[in-house]
């Protein structure tokens, strides 16, 4: 989707779908018979929408002021979603004069730019009803707001670019979207950006470099595991910032088999990894002057004769051993190895942030709006929390300290992958992970089980979160 900004209606290619609010200065420039009655309606607090008698527009929608000013953006997006289920025109003219709250504006733009990916685009439906696609978004603003809005549009467009790639990859069914397939897609997508370079560990390299936890999780599947590191060098020197994503291409639970109902959502258990890839693409698109490494820990948690067994012990690449009590707690295993590997690869790392659909328990604790943040580094906690508020992609902290120590005690190994008491499940996973990041590297864990997916037509699909959060956090961190 292309975009541009205008300060006068005359610059708008027509006929567009106009989205505005009653009282907007833009309406003074509009000459159309339907308008007066619509303004009254929207001013009284109802949405006013017409596709008739609205020339020179294809459609006019006036949304009450309260919706544009709701800081949570839910009301505004609640109005916009049904309008774009079947767009009236490839051109959208968005009146930005009441989008004063930065996170509401950012979320609205991301929603519109994200219309570029639909499930039907995967080509798996033999008959799709032809619907109009939005191809150009025009923002209307007043001249004094133009410079700032130009920057916001550019940023959100780049963020959406990464979200779209990540969402598309996550939506591909897991029998096609295997660890090797993710690697190939990443290589293909990164090839467009000379500053991005892929480093791949196949199952042999995984063995040679001692990533025994990643190997343990992946060995039950006929599709072998991979570790993919994507390097971005937007400058030659300076610290590297690292992101690690959980990339379980399908999570059956292993021998600790999950129930069938809802298991289809476990093809999305690679959203952490997909979003690391998306973030790298967004960074490359913005040509940020930083060094970044994205590590994708890719494996399928399958059942079969080679599958890891409850009670087995495996060794990570930092030498620590883990008793695998529960084969369904596989995410922390692959992440532990990937975090330790990332720290070895770049010992001078400014921070490591991992993102993972790690526990169902974080959804019980925080719901579907907030990602769970667990860290012992107060500076990272503050900066991630602030970036969440600024971007509208928010996090909330769960506790992480040594009171959780007994949650990872094992009689036979250094650590056990699940607590025997079934308590503090999300934080216990984070406690296990912290052993794999050297104490001198600031580290934070994001549990995105509730946020990496959203419900669309009653089904779960990938959301692209927390790419907006991480991009905001990175931008804030660069200027610091
Ligand atoms: N991938 C799941 C977590 C998950 C569950 C994400 C539901 C999204 C929706 C993870 O691998 C898992 O199975 N976690 C277990 C942890 C338990 C065994 C300690 C869980 O949440 O039940
Ligand atoms: Mn699992
Ligand atoms: Zn999982």
Nearest-ligand number for the alpha carbon of 249: 3
Spatial separation of the C-alpha atoms in residues 391 and 470, rounded to whole Å: 9
Ligand number, closest to the Cα atom of 360? 1
Ligand nearest to the CA of 265: 1
> How many residues are given for the chain?
480
Active-site residue, from 291, 332, 381, 465:
332
In a structure prediction context, what are the per-residue pLDDT tens digits for the chain, which is 480 residues long? 999 999 999 888 778 999 999 999 999 989 899 999 999 999 999 999 999 989 889 999 999 999 999 988 889 999 999 999 999 999 999 999 999 999 999 999 999 999 999 999 999 999 878 889 999 999 999 999 999 999 999 999 999 999 999 999 999 999 999 999 999 999 999 999 999 999 999 999 999 999 999 999 999 999 999 999 999 999 999 999 999 999 999 999 999 999 999 899 999 999 999 999 999 999 999 999 999 999 999 999 999 999 999 999 999 999 999 999 999 999 999 999 999 999 999 999 999 999 999 999 999 999 999 999 999 999 999 999 999 999 999 999 999 999 999 999 999 999 999 999 999 999 999 999 999 999 999 999 999 999 999 987 788 899 999 999 999 999 999 987
Residue from 253, 323, 328, 332 to probe ligand 1 pocket by mutation (most atoms less than 8 Å from CB): 328
Say whether 332 is catalytic.
yes
The pLDDT, as a whole number, for residue 129 is 80
Q: Is the CB of 393 under 6 A from ligand 1?
A: no
Checking 383-389 for CB contacts under 8 A at 24+ apart, the result is: 383/473, 383/476, 383/477, 384/353, 384/444, 384/446, 384/469, 384/473, 386/476, 387/469, 387/470, 387/472, 387/473, 387/476, 388/469, 388/472, 389/103
Distance from CA of residue 128 to its chain's centroid? 27
Q: Which residues surround ligand 3, an ion (CB under 5 A)?
A: 248, 251, 269, 331
Range(s) of the chain covered by CATH 3.40.220.10: 2-161
Q: What is the CATH number of domain 174-478?
A: 3.40.630.10
Ligand 1 pocket check for 331: Cβ under 6 Å: yes
Question: Alpha-carbon distance 339 to 239, whole Å?
Answer: 17
Domain 2-161 is found in CATH 3.30.1600.10: no
Query: What is the distance in A from the centroid of ligand 1 to the CA of 360?
Result: 5
What CA–CA distance (Å, rounded) separates 359 from 376? 19
- Ligand 1 site, residue 234, Cβ cutoff 6 A: no
Catalytic residue list contains 144? no
**3-class SS letters over 184-237:** HHHHHHHCCCCCEEEEEECHHHHHHCCCHHHHHHHCCCCCCCEEEEEEEECCCC
CATH 3.40.630.10 range(s) for the chain read 174-478
Q: Name the packing angle between helices 271-286 and 179-190 (round to 10°).
A: 10
Q: 3-class DSSP state for residue 125?
A: coil
């Amino acid at each position: 989707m292309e975009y541009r900004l205008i300060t006068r209606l005359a610059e708008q290619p027509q006929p567009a779908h106009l989205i505005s609010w009653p009282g907007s200065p833009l309406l003074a420039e509009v000459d159309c018979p339907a308008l007066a009655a619509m303004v009254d309606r929207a001013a009284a607090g109802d949405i006013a929408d017409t596709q008739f008698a609205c020339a020179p527009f294809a459609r006019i929608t006036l949304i009450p002021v309260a919706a544009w000013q709701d800081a949570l953006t839910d009301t505004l997006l609640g109005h916009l979603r049904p309008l774009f289920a079947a767009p009236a025109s490839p051109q959208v003219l968005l009146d930005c004069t009441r989008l004063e709250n930065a996170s509401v504006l950012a979320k609205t733009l991301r929603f519109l730019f994200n219309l570029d990916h639909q499930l039907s685009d995967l080509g798996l439906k033999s008959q799709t009803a032809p619907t109009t696609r939005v191809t150009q978004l025009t923002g209307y603003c007043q001249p004094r707001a133009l410079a700032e809005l130009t920057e916001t549009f550019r940023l959100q467009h780049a963020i959406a670019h990464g979200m779209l790639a990540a969402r598309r990859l996550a939506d591909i069914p897991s029998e096609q979207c295997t660890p090797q397939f993710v690697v190939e897609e990443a290589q293909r997508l990164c090839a467009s950006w000379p500053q991005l370079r892929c480093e791949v560990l196949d199952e042999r390299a995984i063995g040679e470099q001692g990533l025994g936890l990643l190997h343990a999780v992946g060995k039950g599947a006929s599709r072998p595991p991979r570790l993919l590191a994507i390097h971005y060098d937007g400058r030659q020197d300076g610290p590297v910032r690292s992101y690690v994503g959980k990339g379980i291409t399908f999570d059956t639970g292993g021998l600790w088999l999950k129930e069938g109902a809802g298991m289809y959502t476990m093809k999305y258990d690679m959203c952490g990894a997909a979003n690391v890839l998306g973030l790298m693409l967004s960074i490359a698109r913005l040509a940020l002057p930083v060094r970044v490494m994205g590590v994708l820990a890719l494996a399928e948690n399958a059942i079969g004769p080679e599958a890891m067994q409850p009670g087995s012990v495996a060794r990570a690449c930092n030498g620590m051993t883990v008793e695998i009590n529960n084969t369904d707690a596989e995410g922390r295993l692959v992440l532990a190895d990937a975090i330790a590997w990332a720290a070895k690869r770049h010992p001078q790392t400014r921070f490591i942030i991992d993102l993972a659909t790690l526990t169902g328990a974080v959804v019980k604790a925080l719901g579907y709006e907030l990602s769970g943040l667990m860290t012992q580094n107060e500076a990272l906690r503050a900066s991630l929390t602030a970036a969440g508020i600024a971007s509208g992609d928010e996090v909330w902290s769960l506790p992480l300290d040594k009171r959780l120590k007994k949650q990872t005690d094992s009689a036979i190994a250094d650590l056990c992958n699940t607590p025997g008491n079934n308590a503090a499940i999300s934080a216990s996973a984070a406690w296990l992970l912290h052993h794999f990041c050297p104490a001198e590297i600031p580290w934070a864990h994001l549990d995105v089980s509730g946020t990496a997916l959203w419900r669309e037509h009653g089904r779960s699909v990938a959301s692209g979160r927390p790419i907006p959060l991480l991009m905001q956090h990175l931008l804030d961190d660069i200027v610091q």
